[in-house]
Amino acid sequence: MAAAEVSNKGVILKQFVTGCPTEDDLELVTGVVRLAVPPGSASVMVKNLYVSCDPYMRNRMSEHNEASYIEQFVPGEVLATFSVGRVVASGHPNFKSGDLVWGMSGCEEYTLITDPESLFKINHPELPLSYYTGVLGMAGLTAYAGFFDVSKPKQGDYVFISSALGAVGQLVGQLAKITGCYVVGSAGSDEKVNLLKTKFGFDDAFNYKKEEDLNAALKRCFPQGIDIYFENVGGAMLAAVLPNMRMNGRITVCGMISQYNLEQPNGAPNLFCLVAKRIRMEGFMVLDYFGTYNKFEEEIAGYLKEGKISVVEDVAEGIENVSTALIGLFSGHNIGKQLVTIAHE
């Protein structure tokens, strides 16, 4: 019996972006896809249920003269992103029709995944499937690996997290509280600050947009200094953090969203603090930790079921709203993990 052909809407990059991206840089297109895999191939056809919008995608929208850690998007092609989906056809022995999976897919309704080794089976379908775009997916593993493996926290540490209500920051803060740390976060609105303190249990938080002096804000929140800075922002925030670090502090560099739209990134003043205070500043890539995923999934799923971890998601509805949701990330429009529902089952 011949496989069905169905309409397949997707979002493409129209041209490379310089400066701040806009919705005009993206376009919703409609194609046709056959719900089958090529004969003899080990590919998997996935129906995408949720797609993730993440800050790192901005880097992929620009043309790079030098090699980056991840390939740039190709103008005219569907954007790649992490998704949650259901297998509708498979030539791979480890996946069968009906399996729920998450992994790298496309901003479209159906995706043929030619490298299914990169997919993860969903082992806790009793939890909201959307969590696998965030707290149980790439962002969650980023938070877990960055905090425990790179930051190396100790009970009683003073922890500061920038962009703390994002998909990564909200989990880092809660893991820090579970570890017994004192936790402060920064965010870009009073609503976000309130959520950090009331829903996520941060000891303190501040709206960086209302602070005339970030250095003074950090001294107010950390009169004793900072042991761990989980860096998501860069720029002025990093410059203010460095003098407020304690001796032998750790700066874990996860991202620098304040720099992504700049044609000429800001310099980094106060770097001599790394020397004077014996600070370790280290970047990391979540791709290096995919081998630890199963351990992470079980631990975080347990915390979720026990009510020890909360989640805030910002869910847009429909493939036609991917562009708005993605571009909104770079102005702080989202409240929590940004994702888009593509299909309901």
- pLDDT for residue 153 is more than 90: yes
What amino acid is encoded at 281 in this protein?
A: M
- pLDDT for residue 255 is more than 70: yes
- pLDDT for residue 312 is more than 90: yes
3-state helix, strand, coil split of the chain in percent (to 5) is 35, 30, 40
**Mean pLDDT taken over the chain:** 95
Q: Binning pLDDT at 50, 70 and 90, where does residue 62 land?
A: very high
Range list of β-strands (E), the chain: 5-13, 26-34, 44-52, 80-90, 100-106, 110-113, 120-121, 158-161, 182-187, 204-207, 226-231, 245-253, 280-283, 313-317, 337-341
- pLDDT for residue 46 is more than 90: yes
Mean pLDDT of 39-47: 96
Residue 97 confidence (pLDDT): 97
Q: What is the pTM of this model?
A: 0.94
Q: How many CB atoms lie within 10 A of CB 331?
A: 10
Cα distances (angstroms) measured from residue 219 to each of 107, 214, 243, 250: 43, 9, 10, 17
